[in-house]
Every structure is written in structure tokens, then in C-alpha cells.
Amino acid sequence: MGLPEAHRLKHRQDFKAVYKRGSRCRGRYLTLRALPPSYLCESVQIGISISQKVSKKAVIRNRIKRQIRAVMQELLPQISPGWKLVVIVKPQAVACDYEHFLRELEELLTKAEVLNGHSRRGVL
């Protein structure tokens, strides 16, 4: 995984908690679930969910995951600490490339008020 281990969302309970109590933002290609910080966790934890409905080929699913991870890595400094995020990939995302994901995620994170305000104007 492209992200440092501290920023990974690994356990089933964490995923369940995000699905149960987190807010939801829908985009064209992705859906973002976000759980606000609790005082126990300090770092941002990110998980990615991609089902076989998106593509039956593991190669394609892996490529999308890697690209999303790369985007998150770039956006990581701007995210307020403590959030737990799950990115759900929609079937339309098969045709996307890195630029698409970057724009979409920045939009979704802003919508969910996860970003700490210092938007990078240069990217857009």
C-alpha cells in the first residue's frame, strides 16, 4: 500500500463504524464516507473499497486502488487529523485516470469539510 501504515484503515470494526456513523458524499465516480475525529485517534485513516462489480479483472481493480492511494498521499497534508475515511469506487470509475481522481476527491473532501482550508489552487 502506498500510504504509510499509520494512515491505513485496516480492521473490520473500523469500516463498520464508518459505514454506520459517518457522513456520505457522492460523486460521479466515487463515494466518500467520513467519520469525524474521536479523541483517541490522532492520524487520518483511509480505506478503499472496490467491489468485483467494478471490474472482474484484478489488474484493473488494483490499478484504481493505486491511483486513489497516490491521490490521497498528495492530499494527506491538507486533511484535518483524526478523520476516518472510506472511498467507495463506482463502476463508472473504470475509465478514469489520475487527474479525474484528483479532482473528484478534492471536491468530495471539501464537500465533507475534511480539508483544513488551505486549498491548493495550483492543481486546479
Partner RNA sequence: GGGAGUCGGCGAAGGGAGUUACAGAUUCGCACUAACUGCGAAUCUGAGGAAAGUCCGGACUCCCAAAGACCAGACCGCUGGGUAACUCCCAGUGCGGGCGACCGUGAGGAAAGUGCCACAGAAACAUACCGCCAAUGGGAAGGAUGAAGGCAGAAGGAGGAAUUCAUCCUUCACCUCUUCUUUCUCAUCCUUCCACAGGUAAGGGUGCAAAGGUGCGGUAAGAGCGCACCAGCAGCACUGAGAGGUGCUGGCUCGGUAAACCCCGGUUGGGAGCAAGGUCAAAGGAACCAAGGUUGGUCUUUUACCGGUUCCGCAGUAGAGAGCCGCCAGAGGCAUCUGGCAACAGAUGUCCCAGAUAGAUAACUCCCCUCGGAAGGCUGAGGAUUAGCCCCUUGAGAACAGAAUCCGGCUUACGUCCGGCUCCCUCCC
Which chain residues interact with RNA by CB under 7 A? 1-5, 8-12, 15, 47-49, 57-59, 62-63, 65-67, 69-70, 73-74, 98-99
Which residue, among 90, 96, 114, has the nearest Cα to 31 in the 3D structure? 90
In angstroms, the CA 122 to CA 112 distance is 21
55 alpha carbon, distance to own chain's centre: 19
Q: Which of residues 25 and 87 has its CB atom nearest to RNA in the complex?
A: 87
Q: Which of residues 98 and 119 has its CB atom nearest to RNA in the complex?
A: 98
Q: Return the C-alpha cell found at 63.
A: 490499478
CB of 62 to RNA, least distance (A): 4
CB of 2 to RNA, least distance (A): 4
